[in-house]
Amino acid sequence: MGFETLTIETDARGVTRLTLNRPERHNALSARLIAELTEAAAVLGADPAVRVVVLTGAGRSFCAGGDLKWMQAQMAAERATRFAEARRLAGMLQALNTLPRPLIGRIQGQAFGGGIGLACVCDVAIGVDGARFGLTETRLGLIPATIAPYVIARMGEAKARRVFMSSRIFDAGEAVALGVLARAVPPEELDAAVEEEIAPWLGCAPGAVADAKALARRLGPVIDDALIDATIEALVARWESDEARAGIEAFFARRPPPWQREG
């Protein structure tokens, strides 16, 4: 498989490492990365040789969220294009969420916005002490829309409301308390901790694992087409808002947005 923004490596056990590979952009979700993650989920999910998938990032960051240049382009696009791009983002998240293989998050660095969404579609995520996390969309006049079903499913509404709207940055310990991470470990222990998560899956029947995962997803919070459509509409509405335009313009101009006040 040839990808520009991902690397995929499968070992003799059938353990595949799927690495976000835009380190110079902190692995921000561009149109290309969204498309390639969607394709990778389909290919890996259909490959009987793949037993476990480990999702990680190259460089210092796991994923900094949506690429703001990509978002800015949606604001200048026709409305049909905005909906199409939002649907591609939502489809990528659902493709990973329903991957018929165990998906383990190896969160080796910071995760913001969509990066937290990616951690929340993993069956289990292990992160490093010292990493920072945040649902930072409202600081820019945006909202965590297409990732919302997965974030709420992972955290529960009560916990999510502590960080969902405030753009507050939190540490790995709080990410564990919120349910984003299962564990936080020192960086030098991350690979060993991930291996501990991998080992049990290799003794399980792959078909049974896939069916059990599908059943768990069916019995959990409903994330169906109607709900996904609602998150797409919410994201597009925000892209079209004056606040989002002002927030992203302020970001690129390196000035405070008009609503910022001293705390």
Kindly report the CATH number assigned to the domain that includes residue 29: 3.90.226.10
For residue 114, the enclosing domain spans 6-188
Please indicate, yes or no, if residue 246 is contained in any of the structural domains: no
**Across all residues in the chain, what is the average pLDDT?**
97
Please indicate, yes or no, if residue 168 is contained in any of the structural domains: yes
Q: Where are the alpha helices (DSSP H) in the chain?
A: 31-46, 68-76, 79-97, 114-121, 148-155, 157-160, 172-178, 190-201, 206-219, 225-239, 242-253
Average pLDDT over residues 57-70: 96
Please indicate, yes or no, if residue 124 is contained in any of the structural domains: yes
pLDDT for residue 262 is more than 90: no
Task: Label residues 205-232 b or e (16+ Cβ within 10 Å = b).
Answer: ebeebbeebeeeeeeeeebeeeebeebb
Please indicate, yes or no, if residue 39 is contained in any of the structural domains: yes
Please indicate, yes or no, if residue 71 is contained in any of the structural domains: yes
Helices 79-97 and 68-76 meet at what angle, rounded to 10?
A: 140
pLDDT for residue 263 is more than 80: no
Please indicate, yes or no, if residue 28 is contained in any of the structural domains: yes
Residue pLDDT, tens place only, 177-208: 999 999 999 999 999 999 999 999 999 999 99
* 43 and 18 Cβ atoms separated by less than 8 Å: no
Residue pLDDT, tens place only, 74-129: 988 999 999 999 999 999 999 999 999 999 999 999 999 999 999 999 999 999 99
Two structure tokens written together for 185: 């470990």
Across-strand partners of 57?
A: 20
Please indicate, yes or no, if residue 259 is contained in any of the structural domains: no
Please indicate, yes or no, if residue 199 is contained in any of the structural domains: no
Handedness of CA 135, 94, 243, 28 (dihedral sign): positive
Q: Total domain count for the chain?
A: 1
According to the model, what pLDDT value does residue 242 have?
96
* 106 and 54 Cβ atoms separated by less than 8 Å: yes
- pTM beyond 0.85: the answer is yes
**How far out from the chain centre does Cα 230 lie?**
18
